[in-house]
Amino acid sequence: MSDKSRAPGAHFSEVLARHVNRRQLVGGILLGGSSLVLASLGACGSARTGRGAAGVTAPAAAEPALSFEEIPHRLDATHHVPRGYRGDILLRWGDAVFADSPAFAPRAQNGERQSRQFGNNNDFIAYMPLAEERAGTTRAAHLASANSRRGLLCVNHEHTRPQQMFPGVGGNAPGSAASEIAADMAAHGHSVVEIELRDDTWRAVLDSPFNRRITPHTPMRISGPAAGHRRLQTAADPGGRDITGTFANCSGGVTPWGTVLIAEENFRHYFHGDPAAIEAEHPHEARMHRRFDILGSARHYWHLREPRFHIEREPREPNRFGWVVEIDPYDATSQPVKRSALGRCQHEAATVVARAGAPVVVYSGDDSADEYIYRFVSAAAFDADNLDNNRDLLDSGTLYVARFNDDGSGRWLPLRHGEPGLTRADGFASQADILIDARLAADAVGATRMDRPEDIETSPVSGRVYVSLTKNDQRRRADAANPRQPNPAGHILEILPPGGDGARDHVADEFQWNVFLLAGDPQAPPAQRGRYGDNTSAHGWFCNPDNFAFDPGGRLWIATDGFVDFGVHDGLWAAQTSGPGRASCRHFFGCPRGAELCGPCFTPDGKTLFVAVQHPGDEPGATFAEPTTRWPDFREDMPPRASVVAVRRQDGGDIGG
């Protein structure tokens, strides 16, 4: 997507080239055939900060080495785990969420049935522990229990593939029958399901009072500076505060006060209409619809059922999506809240870093070519003594966007009304306008354009921040340090807030940065060659990093989306971030053909790894009747079904060794 009105902010490839050419990193290594310099492979510190943590704790041990037997690259019909591990199917699209849920009937789907079943194309996963005594137990007691045998699995349902959901739907055409549209809508959103480990196997608890489905029809409100703004007002909601539903939920995050953040990403695919048709009456909205690539026909036919998805009828409805939504999994009656202070874009994730008595930080990437990396800093401090005091902490604070400088330094630029470039004269009448049009605000302050920033996670050991840049097919500028024209394989960035490892200041506006690795085949020609640690094997390289997770020991687990385009299944790779094993990747999980891997998530004890296998069999020409795999059921009467897999060691040990 291009927009000629954009300010000429530097592209990351240009910054990377200048950075490597002008700065010698102390202790760095130069990898053969390229002038790309990776940061020192020396040992990191060991104090713990990290996603959902309540603050710095006692020093932890250095990252343990990875000892599992690596699996080979493949491309076949099923999933794979290393020798000595099990990968059990826990929840599949259409499985029961409640005790009275109807059985999955793939040829008789409708909205009512699907709204009581596990949704489709699962993505982000959060595991929220449950104390053994549930009745009357406080939220703090649940969280403090760190129970790794009973908890709530909170799972996003990002999107659907109608041609694989419904008989008779061919190509990429959406299902258009009324029942198909209703089922398609209900398959989106989020599921909360209680699970327990019995006899070394995870099972759903269907009579749990915590179980819940959140869909595009769930009532929710929007809070923060944009709430009530005229650009959020519609015929159905003239007050601009009450929004119906959420969808396109990709990755997310967990707060230390026990809520889950889910990110609305590719909401653009669900709106129909031509921006030119509203140009005269709503010129700014038409411009933003083009910026989000809302052009012509949607990928789904929701506008035939609900006029709000037709931009010519409701030109402001898209402004009500692209936010971060906060959900309380411990209260099935609670209303989800869209937190407008975190800005509107195609959020991939919302990763929280908190320390008692300090502001909360939320990191997020805007998953589109040449878009930006954001950070939100709350105005008030995190109260670790009374978790309920944090419930509206994300409504007030400052949104920042990242600029990467040539010398390996960086700065968070405030997106604050009244700052240069962000005044009424610049087209921003208020802070609400800045948040609704976060992309335009980032353009205006000269932030650095990135190669599709996806997940952002923080090491629980070092406090360093890792950014997944999955790829950028639109890039056409080559440079000696990152000579990809375009960048089809992606790379991973490492951000170092000031302070030592384990005690880093995520609130500070200055930071340092490094390239952790360049994805791609290390044997490829120099222009596309991957760059990893020295101990990466022939099966340890990958392409298109997407979601991340850290295990309790601080090792980085990397999920991919798009490796199949290189003839290899997508899956999960693991690497240490410090010591001799830094950036040396090992292949742990392989998806069935056509699928991507999403949402890796560990139980607190590190003995279970949950992963989301999304859109199995999604390959050219595949249909409901003729899929390329029938994973995970492998039955002629069942289509392929997106599923959550629970991975455990057969001897009960820690994942990864």
The helix or strand, by DSSP H or E, that contains position 379, with its residue range, turns out to be: strand 373-381
CA distance 281 to 286: 9
Share of the chain above pLDDT 70, in %: 88
The span from the CA of 422 to the CA of 419, in Å, is: 5
Over residues 99-106, the mean pLDDT reads 97
Residue 374 has pLDDT above 60, yes or no: yes
Q: What is the mean pLDDT of residues 374-391?
A: 96
- Within 480-535, where are the H helices? none
List the domain boundaries for the chain.
Answer: 12-265+322-649
Are the C-beta atoms of 183 and 110 separated by less than 8 Å? yes
For 164-221, what is each residue's pLDDT tens digit?
A: 999 988 655 666 789 999 999 999 999 999 999 999 999 999 999 999 999 999 999 9
Q: Which two tokens stand for residue 142?
A: 């649940």
Report yes or no: 394 and 362 within 8 Å, Cβ to Cβ: yes
Instruction: Answer whether residue 564 shows pLDDT above 50.
Output: yes
Q: Looking up tokens 């385009």, which residue turns up?
A: 565
Cα–Cα distance between 49 and 327 in angstroms, integer?
23
CA distances in angstroms from 451 to 368, 474, 488, listed in the order given: 8, 9, 10
Closest CA to 80 of 487, 597, 506, 431: 597
d(CA 410, CA 412): 7
Question: pLDDT of 322-346, one tens digit each?
Answer: 999 999 999 999 999 999 999 999 9
Q: What is the pLDDT of residue 120?
A: 98
* Beta-carbon-side half-sphere exposure of residue 186 (alpha carbons within 13 Å): 21
pLDDT band at 528 (very low <50, low <70, confident <90, very high): confident
Residue type, 232: L
Q: Is the pLDDT of residue 27 over 50?
A: no
Omega before residue 238 within 30° of 0, cis: no
CA nearest to 349, candidates 373, 331, 317: 373
For 213-246, give the DSSP string.
EE-TT-EEEEESTTTT-GGG--SS-TTS-EEE--
* Residue 484: predicted pLDDT: 64
CA–CA dist 314, 285 (Å, integer) = 11
DSSP calls for 598-655: EEEEE-TTSSEEEEEEESTT--TT--SSS-S--TTT--TT-----EEEEEEETTS--T
pLDDT digits (tens, 9 = 90+) for 274-329: 999 999 999 999 999 999 999 888 889 999 999 999 999 999 999 999 999 999 99
The pTM (predicted TM-score) of the whole model is 0.92
Angstrom CA distances, 355 to 53, 348, 352, stand at 7, 23, 10
- Look-up of token digits 């960035």: 493
354 Cβ contact partners less than 8 Å away, ≥ 6 residues apart: 52, 53, 54, 55, 255, 256, 360, 361, 382
With a cut of 60, say whether residue 41 has pLDDT above it: no
Please give the distance of CA 77 from its chain centroid, rounded to a whole number.
26
C-alpha 140/C-alpha 555 separation (Å) is 27
**Residue 331 · residue 39 · CB < 8 Å:** no
Which of 29-38, 88-97, 389-398 shows the lowest mean pLDDT across its residues?
A: 29-38
Nearest to 502 by CA among 43, 58, 46: 46
Mean pLDDT across the chain: 89
Alpha helices in 23-96 (DSSP H): none
pLDDT at 637 over 60: yes
Give the residue from 90, 253, 271 showing the smallest Cα distance to 156: 253
Q: Are strands 337-339 and 219-223 parallel, antiparallel or unpaired?
A: parallel
**pLDDT band at residue 39, thresholds of 50, 70 and 90?**
very low
User: Could you give the 3-state DSSP secondary structure of residue 14?
Assistant: helix
Q: Among 77, 102, 83, 121, which residue's Cα sits nearest to residue 631?
A: 77
> What HEC string does 304-365 produce?
HHCHHHECCCCCCHHHHCCCEEEECCCCCCCCCEEEHHHCCCCECCCEEECCECCEEEEEEE
310: nearest Cα among 275, 344, 345: 275
Has residue 136 got a pLDDT over 80?
no
Nearest to 491 by CA among 533, 553, 554, 544: 544
For the residues of 136-147, what is the DSSP string, one character each?
T--HHHHHHH--
pLDDT at 133: 84
Residue-wise over 620-657: b if at least 16 C-beta within 10 A, else e?
A: eebbbeebbbbbbeeeeebbbbbbbbbbbbeeeeebbe
pLDDT at 2 exceeding the cut of 70? no
Residue position matching structure tokens 């269907």: 206
Give the residues across from 129 on adjacent strands: 151
Cβ proximity of 159 and 200 under 8 Å: no
